[in-house]
Chain A
Amino acid sequence: DAGVIQSPRHEVTEMGQEVTLRCKPISGHNSLFWYRQTMMRGLELLIYFNNNVPIDDSGMPEDRFSAKMPNASFSTLKIQPSEPRDSAVYFCASSSQGLRNIQYFGAGTRLSVL
């Protein structure tokens, strides 16, 4: 299995632009998680989906952030408009109840908003 695949690996954009991050979970996993990692705040959960349905989005910082999971093999995290304080590494992870909820992480997208 290729593991969790995220794209792009790096994104540099200007303040005010729309940013879309993409994630392909491990085949067969039914839960998907979006995290943000910064030096100051560590690894924070933004939102997670079970069976493509958003379950908890309480970690989404504000309305500029949105996430979708149109099918079991694809999810997006969108920031519109982006701001410099959104600069961070964004990780996607997936898990399966059959594996006792162990989360497997992608390599991350490093976002820089200038």
Chain B
Amino acid sequence: EDQVTQSPEALRLQEGESSSLNCSYTVSGLRGLFWYRQDPGKGPEFLFTLYSAGEEKEKERLKATLTKKESFLHITAPKPEDSATYLCAVGSNTGKLIFGQGTTLQVKP
């Protein structure tokens, strides 16, 4: 069964304190690993997609990496505006995205 598990469920950081979010997955026929950001009261906003092990993508303070079993979202020197829920999803060969439960990040000034 296709499955996505994110950890931790919640993360509190001080501004400038770097950390990583984990996304472990099992899927039959990976068709991309997707990271989204969701702010309260809004829809998920696309951040990155990764398609093969070893691939990395960067955007401002965020960097996503991918292995055959998991993906990491590294946050370097976060700011309060990085506070949000980060969702990971895998695309399967059925054409669907399977989402994890998300990691809620709070960055305190």
Contact = CB atoms under 8 A, between A and B. Distances in A.
A100 B49 contact: yes
B8 interface: no
Interface string A38-70: 000011110010100001100000000000000
A36 to B, nearest CB: 11
Chain B at the A interface: SS class: loop
Contact of A101 (B31, B44, B99, B102): B31
Contacts of B49: 100, 102
Contact of A105 (B45, B98, B102): B45
A107 B95 CA distance: 22
B34 A105 contact: no
How many chain A residues sit at the interface, stated as a range, is 20 to 34
A41 to B, nearest CB: 9
Contact of A42 (B31, B36, B101): B101
A45 B96 contact: yes
Interface residues of B, number: 23
B34 A107 contact: no
Contacts of A108: 42-43
Contacts of A93: 43
Interface string B57-71: 000000000000000
Interface string A76-114: 000000000000000101000000111111111000000
A102 B43 CA distance: 14
B31 A43 contact: no
Given A45-B96, A103-B46, 12 more contacts: A4-B43, A42-B99, A43-B87, A45-B98, A100-B32, A101-B32, A101-B95, A102-B49, A104-B46, A105-B36, A105-B44, A105-B45
Top 8 nearest A-B pairs (CB, nearest first) are A105-B43, A43-B99, A42-B101, A105-B44, A107-B43, A108-B43, A106-B43, A91-B43
13 contacts: A31-B95, A43-B44, A43-B99, A45-B98, A48-B96, A55-B95, A100-B51, A101-B32, A101-B91, A101-B95, A102-B46, A105-B43, A105-B45
